[in-house]
Chains A and B, each alone.
Chain A
Amino acid sequence: MIVCDFDVLRPEQGVAALLPDGSQVAVFLTAEGSLHALDNIDPFSGAAVLSRGIVGDRGGVPVVVSPVYKQAFELATGKCLEEPSVSVAVHQVRVRDGVVELT
């Protein structure tokens, strides 16, 4: 599924995409240029806001921090660093012909 042109993405700024089934995915581009996609729903608040979190690193591991209660989620695994038993789903994402796609 097409998300957007790659040019639209800005490093360390997430975007949200709406899937046909009504669910939402947050897509992130890190400063190093790697792409990640996680469920957009923050499991601690239930709000669809992870795409609006601050992207950075914890001990070198790229994370996004929920804007609601500030838990950090690993971009690569979706794992919550504060509560390792909690995680958000990871989606496969790639760039093809300058277009970002969820696969």
Chain B
Amino acid sequence: MTSLSSRTLVVIGNGMVGHRLVEILRDSSWRIVVFGEESRPAYDRVALSSYVDSWDSADLELPALSGCELRLGEKAVSVDRDRKVVVGASGVEISYDALVLATGSVPFVPPVPGRDLPGCHVYRTIDDLDEIRATVEAASRPGRRSGMVLGGGLLGLEAANALRGMGVSPHVVELAPRLMPIQVDDGGAALLKRLVEKLDLTVHTGTSASSIERDGTRLIAKLASGLELDLDVVVFSAGIRPRTDLDLGLELGPRGGYLVDAACRTSDPHVFAIGECAAVEGVTYGLVAPGYSMAEVVADQISGGARAFPGADVSTKLKLLGVDVASFGDAHAATEGALEVVVNNAVAGTYSKLVVSDDARILLGGVLVGDASSYLSLRPLVGKEVPAALLQPGGAVDVEMPADAQVCSCLAVTKQTITDAIQSGVACDVAELKACTKAGTGCGSCVPMLKKLLTECGVEQSKALCEHFTYSRAELFEIIRATRVTTFSALVEKHGTGRGCDICKPAVASILASLGNGHILGEAQVSLQDTNDKFLANLQRNGTYSVVPRIPGGEITPEKLIVIGEVARDYGLYTKITGGQRIDLFGATVDQLPEIWRRLVDAGFESGHAYGKSLRTVKSCVGTTWCRYGVQDSVGLAIELELRYRGLRSPHKLKSAVSGCARECAEARGKDFGVIATENGWNLYVGGNGGFTPRHADLLVSDVDTEELIRIIDRFLMFYIRTADRLQRTSVWLEGLDGGLDHLREVVVDDKLGICAELETAMESHVSDYADEWRGVLEDPEKLARFTSFVNAPGVPDPSISFRAERGQRVPVSLGIPEVVR
């Protein structure tokens, strides 16, 4: 008998569903071996079309698997069920106690003559997209290129979107009389067609390709309707078929797929199948959510449980080419006697259909196109009594959801389970809800609903900045901007209570500085500044400060380097290279700061704002000037950006970097705004950071020239400064932004809110008003007078500060901290 700890689970297939299974079982006692045919780690195939935004497969990668043996690039070639052994392409043999088939599916290519010609592709993997790109780039036609997508379903429209992203005008050819025939009805599809045709798509429904021929460098497709299309590329996305080429001698379902029971078990009790390759009680599913659900079932089964596949909710809500489309329940009113309530607003571009039972009491399903915001409230009501208001024209869709309604259909989590977790205090935010209920960990489409439930349960964090202001930082920003108030006293008197504190004062000081208002140590502002800002240096543990002069882009002359060395030597400052390509000088007392600045400023240095919630550095690699691989002048751009945004006060510190090529030596994607050179210009990434919760920045725009790049960064930074919370880095701000990256792009690239000109003007005035803060102190005797340790003994150094030597430098003697009774 096999002992518990040495049982082996072999998973064949490293797609999304196989990956999910391993994740679930990560901490179990099973030894897990995964065979993956593709050589790359598992990636998010649902988001495949977004690959064309960055052409970086890392963007799609799923979280790396730990605690399993991942055999990437090794196809499982055979299975000996008698010996319970899987044989890999390399000849390796792995014995299993349980085997899970997660081989996925293969694209269905209709038997069109010419389908194997060069330039014809399927749309399924990252490699497919790379090949499509190669075809498109090889097409030498001047002007816009043309492509055909065969299949007008969900996948076909995704493929069309990917082609658009490559600069190709797509023709979409669908055999059925409408787009997305499975999910959407005629009325919804008509609107969908109208909306996508505005986006440079040409839709041909009710026809198919009868042949594809090559004509020189061109492909000519003849449609059954008689139309001829002159094309550069053809993409087949006419559906998928379960992949069962690994023959285990197991029974298959009526429409293909390894036949399994409700426990996802084949006729061999040691063998399971999940995802698109499985026919659960004969039915195959082409969506990821049912696949995840099957993974849950198998994980439970092999752990000794008795969970069964709950049946799949094939509801879908997605944004295709920017158009909201949702379909749920009995979308086609197939139930006998079903009634339809249709609201088709051609002017607004929205279509909604609710399907109800013959007595108009029970909601059966629906279709939404153009605006699918009510999907999250409607879907859980399927099979339940329908609120009468919904059936009135313009009826409210914000309806109360019954407690037993499923919020997360991937993992079958009900509203009750979620509200229980919130009300018992176990979960106070979405992350905790995900951890304790598993809701939202499947396809993630219910996450907005989780947020809504948190709010409904009264968990929403107060926006109030502190006890002195009921406003959020963003609201205070608008108040200060609109009323042009310039002092904290005036603000707190009119819009707050009390005298302020260490939270609101620096926040208001930062807002005042973001809006201009002169030197941050001006009479009205100095008492608001946090200690670092108050002394334009960074307070260290022994009460001394560190000094960081600006070194734009990390480029420095030997002469300036020598000055820094001399200053450090003369004042006995501990010297360290920072992570931001500059030099930090530690151990200066308050009295020494102006003297040190004087020497630095005279040598051409200025404040590096290491102390401020403001731009720190713009790091760079050496770029085209020296590097054999560089494609743009990264140092030049980094210096330009650093000089443009220096001194810009913001809700939190801002870091940036510029890399001269895709090798990314400057680590730009770990920055609040990072720029990576391309052959054609620059890619701009936003919302990255290191720190406690590292996050890679997201691609905002690609291949823009320097002028456009700077314009978009101007807008991005000003939008962030206006709307973020106090001490909220761009990453957290972006993740909390309603509509996320898409919304950000709409605002700062497409100017949907019409505020871009204003944001740019605000940045222009920042740039023209910039002045070095150190110099501002040196030139003002009143400010200078504050830099003394003792008001009754100017010039006397603080006797509590002392140093010792370590590795040839001075470091603080640890202070005799009195025993603090706690």
**Interface of A with B (CB < 8 Å)?**
2-4, 8, 10-13, 15-18, 22, 24, 27, 30-31, 41, 43-49, 52-60, 62-63, 65, 67-68, 70, 72, 83, 85-86
Contacts and interface: CB of A to CB of B under 8 A. Distances in A.
B753 interface: no
Contact of B821 (A24, A31, A59, A85): A85
A67 B791 contact: no
A22 B798 CA distance: 9
Given A18-B796, A41-B800, A67 B499 contact: no
Given A53-B531, A57-B498, A57-B500, A47 B542 contact: yes
A60 B497 CA distance: 9
A59 B725 CA distance: 23
B543 A49 contact: yes
B215 interface: no
A62 to B, nearest CB: 7
Contacts of B543: 45, 47-49
Interface stretch (B501-509, B574-582, B630-638): B501-509
B348 interface: no
B817 A46 contact: yes
Contacts of B489: 31
Interface in B458-512: 467-468, 489, 498-502, 504-506
Contacts of A68: 539, 541
Nearest to B797: A18
B800 A56 contact: no
Q: Which residue, of A17, A47, A52, A58, has the highest number of chain B Cβ atoms within 10 A?
A: A47
Contacts of B498: 56-57, 59-60
Chain B CB within 10 Å, residue with most, of A17, A46, A53, A85: A46
Interface of B: 467-468, 489, 498-502, 504-506, 526-528, 530-531, 534-535, 539, 541-543, 789-793, 796, 798-801, 815-818, 820-822
A18 B531 contact: no
B818 A46 contact: yes
Output the residue of A12, A15, A22 with the most chain B CB within 10 A.
A12
Between A2, A24, A27, A59, the greatest number of chain B beta carbons within 10 A of the residue's beta carbon is seen for A24
A86 B818 CA distance: 11
B817 A3 contact: no
A45 B818 contact: no
B799 A22 contact: yes
Contacts of A63: 501
A55 B815 contact: no
Given A12-B527, A46-B816, A86-B822, 17 more contacts: A3-B791, A4-B792, A17-B793, A18-B789, A43-B820, A44-B817, A46-B542, A47-B542, A47-B543, A49-B543, A54-B502, A54-B528, A55-B499, A57-B498, A63-B501, A83-B822, A86-B820
A56 B798 contact: no
Contact of A62 (B499, B502, B789): B499
A70 B502 CA distance: 8
Contact of A31 (B499, B501, B526): B499
A83 B820 CA distance: 9
A57 B502 contact: no
29 contacts: A4-B791, A8-B791, A10-B526, A10-B527, A12-B499, A15-B791, A18-B789, A27-B791, A43-B820, A46-B817, A47-B541, A47-B542, A47-B543, A49-B539, A49-B543, A52-B535, A54-B502, A54-B506, A54-B527, A55-B527, A57-B498, A57-B499, A58-B501, A60-B498, A62-B499, A65-B501, A65-B502, A67-B530, A86-B821
B815 A46 contact: yes
A31 B789 CA distance: 23
Contacts of B793: 17-18
A68 to B, nearest CB: 7
A17 B528 CA distance: 22
A56 B505 contact: yes
Contacts of B505: 54, 56
A10 B527 CA distance: 9
Contacts of B790: 16-18, 24
Contacts of B530: 54, 67
B815 A45 contact: yes
Contact of A56 (B499, B526, B796): B499
A87 B792 CA distance: 25
Nearest to A62: B499
Contacts of B501: 54, 56-58, 63, 65, 72
Nearest to B506: A54
A41 B822 CA distance: 18
A17 to B, nearest CB: 5
A85 B822 contact: yes
A49 B531 CA distance: 9
Nearest to A86: B820
A13 B467 contact: no
Nearest to B500: A56
Pick the most buried of A17, A56, A60: most chain B CB atoms within 10 A of its CB. A56
Nearest to A9: B791
B789 A13 contact: no
A15 B528 CA distance: 15
Contacts of A49: 531, 539, 543
A85 B821 CA distance: 7
Contact of B527 (A11, A22, A48, A57): A11
Contacts of B504: 56
Nearest to A83: B822
B579 to A, nearest CB: 23
Contacts of A52: 531, 534-535, 539
Nearest to A19: B792
B752 to A, nearest CB: 39
Given A18-B792, A57-B501, A58-B501, A48 B798 contact: yes
Nearest to A80: B820
A82 B489 CA distance: 26
